[in-house]
Amino acid sequence: MIGMEPSSSSAEWKPTASQEEQWALERHVFHIYQLFCNIPPKSQAVMLELQRDNHIEYLMKGLRHLGPSFSVLDANRPWICYWILHSIALLGESVDDALESNTIDFISRCQDQHGGYGGGPGQMPHLATTYAAVNSLITLGGHRSLSSINRGKIYSFLQRMKHPSGGFSMHDGGEVDVRACYTAISVASALCILDKELTQGVGDYILSCQTYEGGIAGEPGSEAHGGYTFCGLATMILINEANRLDLPSLTDWLVFRQGVEGGFQGRTNKLVDGCYSFWQGGAAVLLQRLHEAGDLFQSHALQQYILLCSQVEGGFRDKPGKSRDHYHTCYCLSGLAAAQFRWSKDADREPLPGLVLGPYSNLLEPIDPLHNIVFEQFDEAREFFTESQHCDDA
Ligand SMILES: CC(C)=CCC/C(C)=C/CC/C(C)=C/COP(=O)(O)OP(=O)(O)O
Ligand SMILES: [Zn+2]
């Protein structure tokens, strides 16, 4: 009742750990925004500027260190290649010939003799690292890079990963989940080897992962999450079955994942994180393209979170207080690209720039949002694979 003294039970009320975390983050982010508002417009423009040179320096250094001596995240090296190369491509830059050649050689050494790529030379092939390796080689582009991919053997690997549930296993005897479906179908689509044998049952599996909240979980019975929602939705679009999903409830779930900080959270009641700028922002773009719908998220607020809260001097981070890394750099930049363009229903047409926060020089290269590869490189690869061999439609 209004005006009543707190009862003994409300006096005992204490916030939960996640409420405290949420409030601490809000205070931190609002402090940044307050600083931003209290400085002259000229300095505001500086704060909103994409620090291209610093990002490129950070990324190039990361790629050069990816040689044989690299031991951190040892089973992840194709991923590090992809996060770095895709970030460089989004910034409209490319690597020099020597670095390009070394990277192609390195990724080729991760290719298994029976198809697919492992996390490092001699490691067992895995769907996630196969996706990362293929996306890296497409991003590098050119004959040497594209022809280094053994598409026939990748097809056999994908067939071998097919699971009786309709989904895919991440590796021989590995877990079956929505990530595996996405990485398998994305690779097959990008390499023009997608056929009915691969798509059979995939839609049923993804449908079984859509939850009561509307988002998509990693596996049946789990919690809806942005990472898996992007993977599930992109997969359904690639196999032409998106309309089987409950799209209104998916849309409803997604639009409520953008927080007061401007960034996205991955799931209900969790903190916002820069990487969901792509997983959730990319999924929103896919929904917008499906329906030719208006904006499903606040593009201005998302760009503000990425530039003011995730951007550091060279690289991007999850949130203030965290350190930069290549994963967050890749997905903050991918999310920024998702927010900067207008997405037309015609997937073959290059998207046009929309609202660009900060100086116009912040504008990134557009992406193909289904595969998360820069549009121009994706287009080149499609042409290369269609011309070099047959391209089977599913
Ligand atoms: C293509 C590919 C391999 C996609 C991967 C998609 C992806 C990012 C899945 C997320 C996995 C997950 C449940 C993270 C939760 O981490 P957390 O509990 O630390 O984070 P949270 O609090 O933000 O949920
Ligand atoms: Zn993150």
Instruction: Give the model confidence (pLDDT) of 68-97 as tens digits.
Output: 555 545 789 999 999 999 999 999 999 999
Q: Residue 102 corresponds to which amino acid? A: N
d(CA 374, CA 364): 10
Is the pLDDT confidence value at 145 over 50? yes
Residue 1: pLDDT over 90: no
Task: Find the catalytic residue in 275, 309, 330, 332.
Answer: 275
Can you give the pLDDT at residue 346? 84
Percent of the chain with pLDDT over 90: 89
318 counts as catalytic: yes
393 catalytic? Reply is: no
- Integer Cα distance of 158 and 2 in angstroms: 63
Determine the residue of 228, 265, 268, 370 to mutate for testing ligand 1's pocket, defined as the one with the most ligand atoms within 8 A of the Cβ atom: 228
7-16, 44-53, 58-67, 342-351: range with highest mean pLDDT: 44-53
**Which residue shows structure tokens 């720039």?**
353
Catalytic site residue 42?
no
Confidence category of residue 4, pLDDT binned at 50, 70, 90? very low
Query: CB of 25 closer than 6 A to ligand 1?
Result: no
Residue type at position 130: T
Closest CA to 276 of 287, 264, 261: 264
At position 61, the amino acid (one-letter code) is K
pLDDT in tens, 226-269: 999 999 999 999 999 999 999 999 999 999 999 999 999 999 99
Residue 14 a catalytic site member:
no
pLDDT at position 387? 84
Ligand 1 atom closest to the CA of 279, numbered from 1? 8
Q: Are 124 and 157 a contacting pair, CB within 8 Å?
A: no
Say if the ipTM goes beyond 0.90: yes
Confidence of residue 390 (pLDDT cuts 50, 70, 90): very low
Residues within 5 Å of ion ligand 2 by Cβ? 273, 275, 318
Is the beta carbon of 182 within 6 A of some atom in ligand 1? yes
pTM of the model as a whole: 0.95
Residue 13: which residues within 8 A CB-CB, separation 6 or more?
A: none
Q: Is 231 in the pocket of ligand 1 (CB under 6 A)?
A: yes
- Angstrom distance (rounded) from CA 147 to CA 196: 25
